[in-house]
Structure 1
Amino acid sequence: MRYFPIFIDTAELPCLVVGAGEVAARKIELLLKSEAHITVVAPWACDTVKKLIDAGEVDYIPREYHPDDLDGMRLIFVATDQDSVNRQVHHDASERDILVNVVDNTPLCQFITPSIIDRSPIIIAMSSGGVAPVLLRYLRQKLESVIPHGIARLGRFSERFRERVKQSLNSVTQRRYFWEDILDGDVAEQVLQGNDKHAEELFEQRLHDYQHDNSTQGEVYLVGAGPGDPDLLTFRALRLMQKADVVVYDRLVSPAVLELVRRDAEKIYVGKARSKHTLPQEDINQLLVDQAQAGNRVVRLKGGDPFIFGRGGEEIEPLIENNIRFQVVPGITAAAGAASYAGIPLTHRDHAQSVVFATGHLRDNTIDLDWPALVQKQQTLVFYMGLTGLGIICQKLIEHGMPESTPIALVASATLPHQHVVTGTLTSIESLVAQAGISPPALIIVGSVVSLHKQLNWFHQDRA
């Protein structure tokens, strides 16, 4: 992140604009939305700027720029059509350590002005660092259409009662829970509709309830993070991730998904890899209990779906034993994500009428499964955690009657930009995977549906 986003207090901020053409006028009009004290220096002014000067909204110095114009200034905008002047102002301001912006000349900008959605006191600012202005306008249009103009009323309502809530509720966590309740509920709805009196009555009742609620126990959310692509998260998952005080996650949760967690939430890594556990499962279970009993909202973020090889059931049992509230949010399974992004339908009228999920996890160098039940016609097999045991899986399937020529695919880092799909047969796949240098996480798909991969592959077609 080259440009760090900040909001500057503009109360009485002395700001200089060099130039008074239409480009400068746009900057001046934007600055006039703030409380800055604006001085314009230029030998002439366009009609737009003249009107602002005549209205007394800006101070005007009708001459060429002089370095002394920087005296006492804290923010500089340069918008002339003379490159030599623009560079001179940039040089002079830089020597004085005054922030300067040369309009439409990013290399000469010490700061850039973002694209703004103004719902004062709520301000949303976005930037592309000057590299994608059209995309930025597109995103702004999207946000403008979904953020109600009434959100400004909600901002002013919150401002009025902020200190009252701070004095009434001692705990920072309790205050945050209270405001989340207010903003998610009927109080906010009444404010947005302009029914301030009714909103205040409801607000007072909620505040009274919170003042007399001494409960400190939190709640646990078992959230399926999906196979990796953050766009595959459910709305509910994203909402709860934004509410979390504590996030407990493992290695199957992609960095892109983890980025969507509430910024100031405590993040606890309990990742597991083969023969290398950061925390034993029993300790993870106890961690969830302890954090909830401390009054936290805990998101247990799990790759794929919590109830499909995610040990979600095991983590719920101690919560029930300790009377801790919990929710389970399903996620797109690793199997569904890998198959879809690899162009391999798990069922198909001409290939498979059933699909079986199995674990390929090794115990004492063996995989204890009902192999005869797995070797059935018109059936797709999906093996989780099977990369290390790939050779044994192929050997056992062949031993129990599956043809050696049966198609098999291995999908690594499914749904992510670096997804890698390797296809072969039961006899060739092990060497092909070794040549490709595949590492976990990876999923194995076995069955004639794999033969559709090249035809139906839509994601990373160049890697087919």
Structure 2
Amino acid sequence: MGGAIIAYLPLLVNLTNKEIIIIGGGKVAERRLRQLLEYKQSITVVSPTLTDTMKEIVTINNIKWTNEPFKKEDVENADLIIAATNNEGINDEIIKQAPKKAWINAAHHGEKGTVYFPITLQRGRLQIAISTGGASPLLAKRIKKQIDLQFPDDYETYIDFLFEAREIIKKLDMDKKEKHRLLKDIVQNPIYDKKAQKTFIKSLKKQM
């Protein structure tokens, strides 16, 4: 029942010094550009036309735009390729011409690519990716809404507090068990109040 399941490994990828090429200028390419700009500013867009909104994004963010149809040379040095034209034949050609080292996101047919973009929820350092493996994007969106209620926007402050506390605790002159106890305590008994967070951080610093 159903097709073969392709196993995708969830990864957090550092895009520093990576060559990213988006080929296409429609709504899908626009959406991918928005997503990638949260993590990477140096991106190249290849397309003879762009949506008005995408043109604005390209201009504001000083994105390199190759105002021409796709050609093989566009992807020769690419590390991540987004094949997002409205022509399936061109998208297939992009995949065919891609260097072996490159990761490919195939907007027209996800299984033809090697990576895809899950639905994500982010609260500062906290990142949650949601995927149904292509079974139901609508369900993935529904799950995101449910998770969204568990982690309100101000949760970012709590995550930053945990990070700062952990960095200090790692430097304290105490045994590993005691450090682990402290770290476990601020997770099991979360401190959401900003004043209480500052007080806790001060108490840690006094022990340094």
Of structures 1 and 2, the one with the larger relative CO (CA 8 A, separation 6+) is: 2
Please state how far the C-alpha of 1:59 moved relative to its aligned partner: 1.2
Query: What pairs up with 1:333-412 in 2 under 5 angstroms?
Result: none
2:3 aligns with none
Instruction: Give the one of 77, 81, 84 matched to 1:76.
Output: 81
Deviation at 1:10, TM superposition (A): 2.2
Contact 1:13 1:36 (C-alpha < 8 Å) held by counterparts? no
**Among 170, 176, 179, which residue is 1:175 paired with?**
179
Does the C-alpha gap of structure 1 residues 53 and 200 become closer, same or farther in structure 2, counting only changes over 3 Å? same
| Aligned equivalents of 2:13, 2:200: Cα separation in 1 | 35
Q: Distance in 2 between matches of 1:119 and 1:57?
A: 27
* AA aligned opposite 1:92: Q
- Pick closer, same or farther for the CA change 1:88–1:175 going to 2, 3 Å: farther
2:46 aligned with 1:27: no
Number of the residue aligned with 1:135: 139
Contact 1:117 1:125 in 2 (8 A): yes
Of Structure 1 and Structure 2, the greater strand share is in 1
**In the alignment, is the contact (CA less than 8 A) between 1:12 and 1:36 conserved in 2?**
no
| 2: CA distance, partners of 1:46 / 1:79 | 13
Counterpart residue type for residue 152 of structure 1: E
Q: Answer with 1 or 2: which has the greater Rg.
A: 1
TM-score normalised by length of structure 2: 0.87
Hey, what's the Cα distance between the residues in 2 that align with 1:171 and 1:132?
48
User: Does residue 118 of the first structure (1) align with residue 122 of the second (2)?
Assistant: yes
Q: Distance in 2 between matches of 1:183 and 1:70?
A: 45
Give the 3 Å change call, closer, same or farther, for CA 79–208 of structure 1 in structure 2.
same
8 A Cα contact 2:169 2:204, kept in partner: no
Q: Kindly tell me: are residues 62 and 151 of structure 1, through their superposed partners in 2, closer, same or farther at Cα, counting changes over 3 Å?
A: same
Specify every segment of 5 or more residues in structure 1 that has no aligned partner in the other structure, as ranges: 212-464
Corresponding residue number in structure 1 for 2:192: 189
Query: 1:145 is paired with a residue of what secondary structure?
Result: helix
The percent identity for this pair of structures is 20
Query: Which residue of 2 is the match for residue 457 of structure 1?
Result: none
* Letter in structure 2 aligned against 1:88: E
Query: 1: CA distance between counterparts of 2:47 and 2:68?
Result: 5
Aligned to 1:203: 201
Distance 1:26 1:173, change over 3 A: farther
Asked whether the 8 Å contact 1:38–1:59 carries over to 2, the reply is yes
Q: Secondary structure at the match of 2:7?
A: coil
Of the three residues 22, 47, 56, the one matched with 1:51 is 56
- CA displacement at 1:173 relative to structure 2: 4.5
**1:120–1:152 contact (8 Å) kept in structure 2:** yes
Tell me which amino acid in the other structure corresponds to 1:22: K
Amino acid at match of 2:129: A
Figure out how many residues of one structure are paired with residues of the other and give that number.
Answer: 203
Superposition map of 1:52-67 within 5 A:
52-67=57-72
Equivalent position amino acid for 1:83 in 2: E
Unmatched segments (≥5 aa) in structure 2? 1-5
- 8 Å CA contact 2:158, 2:192 repeated in 1: no
> C-alpha root-mean-square deviation of aligned residues, in Å?
2.2
Question: Is 2:153 the partner of 1:149?
Answer: yes
